[in-house]
Amino acid sequence: MSIAMRLGGALLLLTAGCAVETQPEVPDVAMSFVQQRVFEGTPRAQLRVVNSSSDDLTVTGVGLDWPGYGKFLDDYSTTVEAGRTLDLNITLPTPDCSALAPTSKPVIGRVRVGNDVVRRTLDASGTGFVTRIWQRECDERRVESAVRLSYDGPWQLVGSGRRTELAGHITLTRRSEERRIVVPEIVGSVLLELHLDQPAVLPPGVDRRTFPMTMVVPRCDVHALIESSQTFHFLMAARLGDDPLVRVLRLPDVRTRARAQALLDQACR
């Protein structure tokens, strides 16, 4: 007998006039959460379903229940065979960044089977993925509303061979944030290091400033050149007023990326 048939009963019970979601008896199902590296910086991830039972699990919906993303269930169509583990694609909704201390709340995975919804508290690893993605997205929204970073030219190649540098500038433009804004560093990748001459600072009342920045190539070994999949993923560290330091992804524009590629080509040829 399949799990869907064994669950049988209705999804909802009426208690004091309110609909309450039940948790069916499916003892051998566990859930976690992962995000493949290729999806980092996006709301796309995977709900991991571990079916340790002797019955197939026919899934028609997947979602979460957690204050940071609310309670949602998206349609899905797949079967998690008995004794198997399957990662089910999921797209996280817009985060609720006003949620009060959501990281203290358990993250519940939800899988619809027939007319019932199986609920499981995610394991520590899965909970960590969800809370980190939420924190990253909320940091991104907060910084994006406060200040804009642009990579400005003219980007010029200086030197030759492994000593080649790419010299240019970054510009910080104030948006809604009225307090002091500090960018102490921009972290590059395994193939590109970014160096500011000094921390980039916008004091209160100053809306725009430009700062020198250089790029260098720290390594040219074949392994790094072949395996690097996030060569142009740059992380801006930012502090708004007295708030904790956060790091947000700031990808270079097409022109800057082309000049950075020229730096790699010249330094590693």
**pLDDT digits (tens), the chain, 269 positions:** 555 444 444 333 333 333 345 555 566 899 999 999 888 888 999 999 999 989 899 999 999 999 999 999 999 999 999 999 999 999 999 999 986 667 788 999 999 998 899 999 999 999 999 999 999 999 999 999 999 999 987 899 999 988 999 999 999 999 999 999 999 999 999 999 999 999 999 999 999 999 999 999 999 888 878 878 889 999 999 999 999 999 999 999 999 999 999 999 999 98
Query: Where are the CATH 2.60.40 domain residues in the chain?
Result: 3-122, 144-268
What is the per-residue DSSP string for 172-205?
Answer: EEE-S--S-EEE--EE--SS-EEEESS-EEE-TT
For the domain covering 3-122, report its CATH number: 2.60.40
Distance, C-alpha 256 to centroid of its chain: 23
Q: What pTM was estimated for this model as a whole?
A: 0.77
How far is the C-alpha of 175 from the C-alpha of 145, rounded, in Å? 6
Q: Domain 144-268 belongs to what architecture?
A: Sandwich (2.60)
How far is the C-alpha of 9 from the C-alpha of 256, rounded, in Å? 59
